[in-house]
Structure 1
Amino acid sequence: MAFERVRTEEQRKIRIQQIKDASVKLFDEEPFHEITLAKIAQETSFTRGNLYKYISSKEEIFLLVTMDEILSLKDDLKAALDQDMTTDIAAFARTWASVVGQHPRFLQLTSLLFTVIERNATLEKLVPFKNEFAEAMYELTGILKETFPSWDETTIQKFIQSQLHYAIGLYPNTSPSDIQKQAVEESVMAYVFPDFTEEFAEFIEYTVRYLQEKQDKVQ
């Protein structure tokens, strides 16, 4: 695409979206550490100089991409959950795990978010990201409050944090690379890589039952 000077805010948003789309394409095709601004510029047909008019680092781009993934997951969870699933915790667990499992890019990015992306982002870009993240979590809290009306905010926050931490740890073990698969096959390990949705649903059900029991004792 030929580069044209941006004259309106709408045009700037279009350029940012083009940069994000190019970054996502690369992210889906190669390891994060191999993605460079030069590759992103080439994917968009921008020069690196033109790219720097909109972003200053790879991490800045992927903060934006990560937020898109967070918002997409939040919207899908809201659409999938019934308003009150207190009496059918197993169904809630299966639904939650299934929806999260349908967002592998979210899982990949959040596994990098706290250890790589945020650590290499500027404060100027990280603060707005944190604010938007907090707003998304506030909306998710509301969704969970409708699903489990008896839960207080502390219980909801414990659930959100627990499931996120577990998902981040579980996902890499359920999506091995070809070389990891081959290494297991050629080693003496009798190991079967777990299914993400199945394992995650089991964890979610255990966690919800534990939190529900604690909540019931308080009331």
Structure 2
Amino acid sequence: MAVELKETIDKRREEIMDACERLYESMGFHAITIKNISTETSFSRPSIYNYFQTKEEIFLGLLTREYMKWNDALRSVIGRKAIMDKDALARALAKSMEERKTLLKVSAMNLYEIEENSRDELLVEYKRTFKESIELFDECLKKHLGVSAEKSEQIRYVFFPYMYGIYPYAYPTAKQISAMDEVKLSHRDVTIYEMTYQFLKLIL
């Protein structure tokens, strides 16, 4: 009975997070409300509060889910039988990051506010998943490149802060582009994959 209840709760939380993610594709973080999210689900607005106390908690759940998906991709890289060289590993990690657009967007745009307005237990759950990402990233470097723990930490402390800046460069707004054009600031179209791959090539 308890297992069935947990499955039901998890399914409903997933539906709410799915709705939030769809809205986030076309709306800004501050424009999205619990009411907006409820119209995209089978729940009323009061019902959503049974699963998330704030909008920020929905986004935190979404971010936690994104890291869980990335962790699965990192495990796949670790699980490859053939040992990869630096270029192949950079490409594999770039591919895993390319599929995590929502992760990059939330991390770059709204992470502080989301963490500040979420319950401690949910923040701990997110940090636990994030810690696993760090450990799996390190394991990728150790497995394929034989990188020491000290070197792996150095690479990580460069890559993860860089990672948070990828989304704004890959998806500048029309207003930002217009302003850059006005002052003749050069810019070019780049993808998440390209930014990740080129940077990892430099630091691995």
Under TM normalisation by the shorter chain, which class is it? Answer: 0.7 to 0.9
* Percent of pairs with identical residues: 28
Residue 148 of structure 1, aligned match among 135, 145, 148: 145
- Structure with the bigger RCO (C-alpha within 8 Å, sep 6+) is 2
What is the match of residue 191 of structure 1? 186
Q: Is residue 68 of structure 2 the alignment partner of residue 74 of structure 1?
A: no
Normalising by structure 1, report the TM-score.
0.79
Residue 18 of structure 1, aligned match among 15, 28, 38: 15
What is the match of residue 53 of structure 1? 50
What is the match of residue 104 of structure 2? 107
Normalising by structure 2, report the TM-score.
0.84
Deviation readout 1:28-87 (Å, 9 max, x if unpaired): 1211111111111222142221111111011111111111111212322443565533xx
What is the match of residue 176 of structure 1? 172
Residue 119 of structure 2, aligned match among 114, 118, 122: 122
Unpaired segments of 5 or more residues in structure 2? none
Q: Is residue 153 of structure 2 the alignment partner of residue 157 of structure 1?
A: yes
Give, as a single letter, the amino acid of the residue that structure 2 aligns with 1:84: I
Deviation readout 1:70-123 (Å, 9 max, x if unpaired): 1212322443565533xx323322332233123211211221454221122222
Structure of larger gyration radius: 1
Q: Is residue 26 of structure 2 the alignment partner of residue 29 of structure 1?
A: yes
CA 1:112–1:179: 2 relative to 1, 3 Å:
closer
Question: 2:56–2:114: 8 Å Cα contact kept in structure 1?
Answer: yes
Residues in 1 aligned to 2:185 and 2:126: alpha-carbon distance in whole angstroms: 43
Question: 1:173–1:193: 8 Å Cα contact kept in structure 2?
Answer: no
- Where 2:43 maps in the other structure, the secondary structure is coil
Give, as a single letter, the amino acid of the residue that structure 1 aligns with 2:76: A
Residue 198 of structure 2, aligned match among 170, 195, 202: 202
Aligned residues: 198
Unpaired segments of 5 or more residues in structure 1? 1-6, 209-219
CA 1:199–1:41: 2 relative to 1, 3 Å:
closer
Runs of 4+ in 1 over 4 A off after TM superposition: 80-83
CA 1:188–1:199: 2 relative to 1, 3 Å:
same
